[in-house]
Each structure stands twice: as C-alpha cells, then as structure tokens.
A and B are shown apart, each in its own frame.
Chain A
Amino acid sequence: MSAVFDDGLSLFGVRRMMEGVIPPVLCTASADRVPNVSYLSLCEYVDPLHIALSYQFFNRSRENVLATRRAALTLDDPYTGGGVVMQLEYLRTETEGPVFERLRAKLMGVASHVGMDKVFHLRGADIYCVTEMRRVPGRKELPAAAPRVDLATNSRLLSERMANSEDMADLLDTLLGGLDDLLRIDHAMLWLSDASQQVLTLLASRGYDFEGAGAEISVGEGLVGTAVREGVPIRVGHMMNMATYMRAVRERAGESGLNVAPAPEIPLPGLKEPRSQLAVPLRARGRVLGALLVESQHDQYFGYDDEDALMLLCGQFAVAMSLMQPQDQDAPAPVTGRPAPVGQGPALRLRRLGRDNSVFLDDIYLIRGVAGAILWKLVAEFLRSGRREFTNRELRLAPELRLPDVQDNLEVRLLLLQRRLAEQNAAIQLEKAGRGRMRLNVSRDIVIEREAG
C-alpha cells in the first residue's frame, strides 16, 4: 500500500508529537458509519510507515477498529501548536516483542510514578499502517524552541572526560558534573541494581538538598525502577498532564486504594513536582546494572535527542564501571594492635541485622546488603586487632561477604558506603589510603551488637 504524506512530512519527523503532552485523538466509526472520538494513552513510532497505539481496554473505539480496520488520528506538536492528521489502517495486535515491550515500559513507568501500576495493564500494541498524513491547515504556529545545548558536541566532551576517569569516584563525579555543566541537566540520580535483592540503591545524586546515598527503591517501582526492569529508557515530558490522565483512568476502572509503598528508611532526594523526567538504564555485558534518572522543573525538557545522548553516555559509564576492577595491593596492611580508647562522648553502638546485613549506628539505619557487610567486617577487625587499614584484595577474598560478583560490585559498594558515612557525618568514616587500600577513621569508641534475623 502506498502512503500519501504532505511534502516534508515523515513519521520520524513527527515523533515528538507522539509523546502525549497533548494526548492523541482517535476517531473511529462503526460499520454503519456512526463516528466515535476518544483520547489515547500512548502512540509510538514503529518505522517510516507504521505506528503503534496502546490497547488497554476493550471499548467502543476498539470495537469499531476491529469492525472496519480504519481510524483517523490527530497529533499536536507540543512546542509549536501545529498538528497533523492521519488516516490509519489497522494491521494487527502484538502482545510481545520490542514494540509491545517499549509501550508497556512507558505505560508502567508513568503509571508506577503516580502509584497506579496495579490499575494499568497493556493488553497489546495495535499496529497501524499510516496511509495518509497531512498538516492541520490554518494554524498560526509558534517558532520551535532553540536547542538547550549542542547535544552532540557536548556529549562528546563529556564522553572524553569519562574516558580519562581513573577510579569509580572520579567516573561518577565526572558524569554527574558533566551533565550539569555540559548538558544543562541540573538534577540527576544514579541508581545501582542489586539483582539478588531486587532493589535499587542510590549511589549518588546532584542538584538536590541532600544526596540520599544508600536510599532504596524496588526494581519496577517508578520511572527508574521500570527502566531497570525493562532495560529501556522512559521519558515523560509533561508529568502533571499524564498524572491527571492516569487518575481519570483509575477512577473509571473503579479501583479503590493505591498500592502504597512503605516509607523509605533513607529519604529519597528528588524534585517535589518534576515536570519532566527521563530514566536511562545502565547496560553492559548484557545486563542492566542500574539507571540514571534526570529530571527538570520545566515541561518537555528532555527530547528524543537527550534520550539518545544519555543512552550512549550511560552505556559508556556502565562498561567503565564493570571493567573498573578494584586495584589490588598485595602487601599486608599494617597491624597496630588493639585500638586505644577514643574517649569522645559515649560509645557508638553499631548494630547489625543478620537477615539482610542492615547496619544501624545508635539505632539509626545506615545501610544494608554488601555495603553493610563490608562495614561490619571492617569494624569487627578494627576492634579485634586495632587495624585501620584494609586492602581491597582481602575484602574480595572474604567468604563472609559473599560478594555476588566482585568485579562489578566491590568498588561501587565501597564508594556507596564511603558516601553514606560522609553524608551522615558518622563517627566512623572511610577514606582511600592509596592504591587498593582504604582507611577506617573512628572518632568514638564502638560497641557492636549482632541480632539474629
């Protein structure tokens, strides 16, 4: 079938109109030509001749499409006020494959963000051939906004900076700093996945009142959790609008009560009312190692080009992170004997729950998992022998830490622990002490307790 498009129009060129800032409008008609007009959740570019529309509910639009296989669709440009109208021919409904997964990830990401992922269920991706596309005539359009930065050039600069990073801390700071000063992305968080616990841990953030290192969310929760679970980027350009749309659907669905997540033990940083968000997975060696979440107080701040640029940069970051093996220092760390009393204030109570290695300082939750186990080992050894310096190698070989994948995890877990202790201004601090070595700094006496769990 040949398609008839206005001069200069292409489906690729109107991708930005499919972002849902102004919801697409679908017009169908019954077999006896009674029209029906409704709004859609999602429209997705497939290829130069095809688009996919979300199929969530069996309603009159779907009944009509199955009867006639024809539809008209309008899309509005979120920047200029221009628009296009299309004639569509329904081809098929896909319930698996990349197009379906992309639509489902977007739907779940946004639904989860507003706590409605239990209500939303993508039944299929309806694939349509676009047989005609023309501009809506008679509109006095606004000029398109100028690009925020030269994305290609500045991404290249950032990539070069990252390539020169020598360790994990440097790599992380380079990425977050570069997003800010080169790409004008002021608010960013970097989350790490821990496949064994199905949680994401915040490694670092930039642009918020507090860093929140060590905060956790579930894989699948919110935009970032969904991006990790599905391994695809998810972008929302007009969160207020989408949230309102989702609430309308929920009310129609007759659901009562949201799936309220328990309050996090470490507060999450983040904008109170973000207008735009983009979550990009960190993928390397066939795995998703975490995700970068960027957000803005402005509508439509991130476009397709940002998504492309951040996918490349996050890919580079993930590969570098996975290749950045802890540096070994084979010489044994010096032993100084049992620690002398520090004697400043009451002793610090260090408590550990065996179940998940959660560590508490004076009953205040600090961290869990591998990072918690590392801290426990370091402090126990310090109290036993007085030793303050430790090598990465001995941690890698320590059977009690049960590191799931040392090359991927030790360096970042040490960095996470170091930042969490620093943010808490704790009486125990961790610092680098040379190649492959770290030092424990203790400013109060310590009493340790272990609870079964």
Chain B
Amino acid sequence: MALTNDMIQLLSAGVAHQVGACTNDGRPVVCRGLAAQHEAGRLLVIVSSESGFEVLDAIRQNGRIAVNITLPENYRSLSFIGDDAVVRGSGAAWRPLVTERHNAFSEQLRRFGIPPEYTNAWYSADDEHLVAIRFTPLQARNQTPGPGAGNPVDLIPIEFEK
C-alpha cells in the first residue's frame, strides 16, 4: 500500500512527528520524530537515537511501528502503521531532510506564537544520532482528535520496486 498524494503533501507541510512502537513484552513506547518522507511506497522516518532509544529497541524486536503526523494549524492528524520496520542508516546524510522539516514545523508553530528557539530544543540532535527507520505502511488511521480517532483511512494499492 502507498500513501495518497494528499498524504505525501502533508509530510512536507510542517507536521509534528510522533513515533510509537511496542516491545515483545507489551510495553508501549513513544518518541518525537524529526522528519518523514515517502520513498516509492515505503515511509522513511528519522528519529534521534538519544531520545528514541526505546522506540528503536522495540522496532528491532518486532518491526511494528506507528508514525503519527499532525499539522498544528488544524490538528489534521494521520498515523501510518507497519510491521516490517527496519532501523538502518544513520548520520549526517539525513541532516538536509531534518532541517527542511524542522523549518517547516517551526513556521507552523510561529503562527501560534511559539518562537523557533523553542522548537530548536526538539531538533537539537547531533548528526551522529540521526537514525533512519523504513517501513511499508499497511494501514493509515485518521488520528484527528475526536470520535473515531484511530479509524482506518484508505491507502492506495500500488506496485513498486523493492
């Protein structure tokens, strides 16, 4: 399954990212994500290995992942669920993507009177701590707050090269 164009556009609109996982013994864990990008039917998510160590450990155990993206200006919120997540690749190569998403997110929060200095605290991971997670979205859920939050929304069945 792949993301719709609308979902792909949302990824670069200045969203907040939250990454959830669950260990094999049933411990839910969550951390803030730094960037997400659609890559030929798969989703790439960048987290900090410092703040996200629990999430990375859980993903290494079972590959299950939920990535939530939320646009502050209207709280439009989507989650992408997968069970084949892998942790692979880290370092400065992800800095341009993180910077781009950081800037877009800061601009969103600036509208609410939250200065960039504040969001900088969330994006202060050093290059060596940037870690990539990739997975195939099996399901998307509408997480906009309210009744029915967590209900599925359609993804596009497409063929892509692995």
Contact = CB atoms under 8 A, between A and B. Distances in A.
Interface of A: 25, 27-29, 33-39, 41, 57-61, 63, 68, 70-74, 76, 80-83, 85, 87, 136-142, 238, 240-241, 244-245, 247-253, 275, 299
A139 B122 contact: yes
B148 A299 contact: no
Interface residues of B, number: 56
- Which 6 pairs show the lowest CB-CB distances between chains A and B? A60-B150, A81-B121, A252-B146, A138-B50, A248-B75, A27-B30
A242 to B, nearest CB: 10
A244 B73 contact: yes
Contact of B146 (A63, A82, A140, A249): A249
A72 B119 CA distance: 22
Given A139-B124, A238-B112, A27 B146 contact: no
A57 B29 contact: no
29 contacts: A34-B22, A34-B64, A37-B18, A37-B30, A37-B79, A38-B77, A57-B149, A58-B147, A59-B151, A60-B141, A68-B28, A70-B26, A72-B28, A72-B30, A74-B18, A74-B32, A81-B122, A136-B51, A139-B51, A141-B121, A142-B121, A238-B112, A240-B113, A241-B112, A244-B72, A247-B75, A249-B145, A250-B146, A252-B145
A39 B77 contact: yes
Given A59-B149, A138-B51, 10 more contacts: A27-B20, A36-B150, A38-B149, A59-B150, A60-B141, A60-B151, A70-B28, A72-B30, A138-B129, A245-B145
Contacts of A34: 22, 64, 66, 81, 83
A59 B147 CA distance: 6
Contacts of A73: 30
Contacts of B20: 27, 29, 35-37, 72
A25 B51 CA distance: 15
Given A35-B20, A68-B26, A61 B149 contact: yes
